[in-house]
């Protein structure tokens, strides 16, 4: 089976499983799990932040970031297609009384900063209070330019807004730019990073930020039922991921690029844009794509939509196999 649906489908490697087996454990709600503590210290150090919190998922991490930085009746600005706005069941609104203000992403995955400035609400009791500006990096596989982050940060500071990054795949961005994750995190108060995407851990995310915010998030994590006990067994996989699976993300990027560059030349195939990281965005008419999806499924390749994601469990041989199948499909239809 070749599964291109998402980089969430990776299974822990034998070495990662061994690290989980070997992990010293304790009760993390008492702050006594040495492996969770080690993961949080490592995440804080890598990102250049004061503190870090191990959480069950990226959704929980983003939720805690919003709940810890916005009060009821306050507002956060995020992309219309942002995970925090669109794919998290409206958690911040439901649980925190926090109003989302979505704006469209441009084709670079950015929020237009003039539009953001025009959307920030003046201090007037008619309005919700704009409190936080949220970006996503990578956004649909696109890497935000560092100059843009600097401009974004300046704008947020000018209006006294908090800055959150949904950095589910921030390591993909850092590896693509050949920079340290610290350099990206510098522009944000809080950053959420998934361990269970390209980094290939089975479970978990980390939320990093200043001590006061992370302390608040820790209380809120308990409130939403995210206080896990011997969670070190999971955190061990996270440590393994951070120590071993970051640099290898470039293999996923190379595989995505190879796949895109090869299939874009096939008759009846089209790619939306050059992949920057681990996502190939196809652009086929709906019915043709359905036929392709069925053809691939018959031959052991699973895709969901026209976003194909490379990851640790997709080898270069797998990519070649997908390509061969696309070639055959292209000739026969
Ligand atoms: C996957 C993802 C999340 C949420 O992570 P889960 O662990 O699935 O809850 C958040 N933001 C982005 C951009 C993601 O891709």
In the block, which residue shows the tokens 């794919």?
87
**Nearest atom in ligand 1 to 83's CA:** 11
Average pLDDT of 237-264? 97
Residue 27 lies in a domain: yes
DSSP conformation letters of 132-191? EEEEESSBTTBPPPHHHHHHHHHHHHHTT-EEEEE-TTHHHHHHHHT--HHHHHTT-SEE
Which of 225, 244, 263 is a domain's end point?
244
Task: Indicate the pLDDT class of residue 333, thresholds 50, 70 and 90.
Answer: confident
Regarding whether 326 and 217 lie in a shared domain, the answer is no
Same domain, 257 and 235: no
Q: Mean pLDDT throughout 92-99?
A: 98
Instruction: Say yes or no: 264 and 132 in one domain.
Output: no
Same domain, 109 and 124: yes
Q: Which atom of ligand 1 is nearest to the CA of 139?
A: 13
Last residue of a domain, one of 197, 229, 244: 244
For residue 113, pLDDT over 90 is answered with yes
Tell me, yes or no, whether 169 and 290 share the same domain.
no
> pLDDT at residue 252 above 90?
yes
User: Final residue of a domain: which of 244, 260, 290?
Assistant: 244
Residue 271 pLDDT greater than 90, yes or no: yes
pLDDT tens figures, 288-318? 999 999 999 999 999 999 999 999 999 999 9
Same domain, 201 and 261: no
Of 54, 83, 140, which is best to mutate to test ligand 1, by the most ligand atoms within 8 angstroms of its C-beta?
83
Q: Looking at the structure, do residues 136 and 267 belong to the same domain, yes or no?
A: no
Q: Tell whether 225 and 297 lie within a shared domain.
A: no
Q: Which residue has tokens 């479970």?
A: 203
Ligand 1 mean position, distance from CA 229 (Å):
23
Judge whether 2 lies within some domain: no
Q: Whose CA is nearest to atom 8 of ligand 1?
A: 58
Specify whether the CB–CB gap between 182 and 199 falls below 8 A.
no
Q: Tell me which DSSP letter residue 299 carries.
A: T
In a domain, 1, yes or no: no
- Is 90 exceeded by the pLDDT of residue 326? yes
Relative to the CA of 204, which ligand 1 atom is closest? 7
Total domain count for the chain?
A: 2
Rounded to 5°, the CA angle 136-181-282 comes to 45
Range of the domain at 273: 248-332
Phi and psi at residue 221, to the nearest 5°: -60, -40
Inform me whether the pLDDT recorded for 165 exceeds 90: yes
- What share of the chain in percent tops pLDDT 70? 100
Ligand 1 pocket, residues with Cβ under 6 angstroms: 57-59, 62, 83, 136, 166, 168, 194, 196, 205
Looking up tokens 């649980």, which residue turns up?
95
Same-domain check for residues 82 and 156: yes
In the prediction, which pLDDT does 69 show?
98
109 contacts 49 by C-beta, under 8 angstroms: no
Residues 235 and 290 in one domain: no
- The rounded distance, in Å, linking the Cα atoms of 142 and 136 is 9
Distances in Å between the Cα of 84 and the Cα atoms of 60, 79, 124, 193 are 10, 8, 26, 13
Angle CA(30)–CA(34)–CA(38) in degrees, nearest 5?
A: 120
List alpha helices for the chain, DSSP H: 14-22, 34-47, 58-69, 83-86, 91-96, 113-119, 146-158, 170-177, 181-185, 211-223, 232-244, 249-263, 286-298, 316-332
| 117, 111 Cβ separation under 8 angstroms | no
Residue 3 is assigned to a structural domain of this protein: no
Percent of the chain residues past pLDDT 90, beyond the cut: 99
Domain of 295, CATH number, reads 3.90.1150.10
In a domain, 46, yes or no: yes
Residue 3, SS3 per DSSP? strand
Rounded CA separation 170/326 (Å): 30
CATH code assigned at 47: 3.40.640.10
Q: Is residue 305 part of a domain?
A: yes
Q: Is the pLDDT of residue 38 over 90?
A: yes
Residues 234 and 285 in one domain: no
């Amino acid at each position: 089976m070749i599964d291109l649906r998402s980089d969430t489908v990776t299974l822990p490697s034998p070495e990662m499983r061994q690290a989980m087996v070997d992990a010293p454990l304790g009760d993390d709600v008492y702050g006594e799990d040495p492996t969770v503590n080690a993961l949080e210290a490592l995440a804080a150090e890598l990102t250049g932040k004061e503190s870090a919190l191990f959480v069950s998922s990226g959704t929980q991490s983003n939720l805690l970031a919003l709940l810890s930085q916005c009060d009821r009746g306050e507002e956060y600005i995020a992309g219309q297609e942002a995970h925090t706005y669109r794919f998290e069941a409206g958690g911040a609104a439901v649980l925190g009384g926090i109003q989302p203000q979505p704006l469209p992403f441009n084709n670079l995955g950015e929020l237009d900063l003039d539009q953001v400035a025009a959307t920030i609400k003046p201090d007037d009791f008619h309005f919700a209070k704009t409190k936080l500006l949220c970006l996503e990096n990578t956004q649909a596989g696109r890497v935000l330019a560092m100059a843009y982050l600097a401009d974004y940060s300046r704008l947020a500071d000018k209006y006294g807004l908090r800055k959150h990054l949904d950095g589910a795949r921030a390591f993909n961005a850092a590896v693509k730019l050949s920079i340290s994750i610290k350099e990206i995190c510098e522009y944000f108060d809080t950053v959420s990073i998934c361990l269970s995407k390209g980094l290939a851990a089975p479970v978990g995310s980390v939320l990093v930020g200043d001590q006061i915010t992370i302390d608040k998030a820790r209380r809120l994590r308990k409130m939403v039922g995210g206080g896990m006990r011997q969670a070190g067994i999971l955190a061990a996989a996270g440590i393994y991921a951070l120590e071993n699976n970051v640099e290898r993300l470039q293999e996923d990027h190379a595989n995505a690029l190879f796949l895109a560059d090869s299939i874009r030349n096939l008759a009846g195939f089209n790619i939306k844009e050059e992949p920057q990281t681990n996502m190939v965005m196809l652009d086929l008419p709906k019915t043709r794509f359905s036929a392709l999806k069925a053809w691939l499924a018959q031959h052991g390749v699973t895709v969901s939509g026209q976003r194909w994601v490379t990851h640790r469990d997709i080898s270069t041989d797998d990519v070649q196999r997908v390509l061969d199948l696309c070639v055959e499909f292209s000739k026969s239809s």
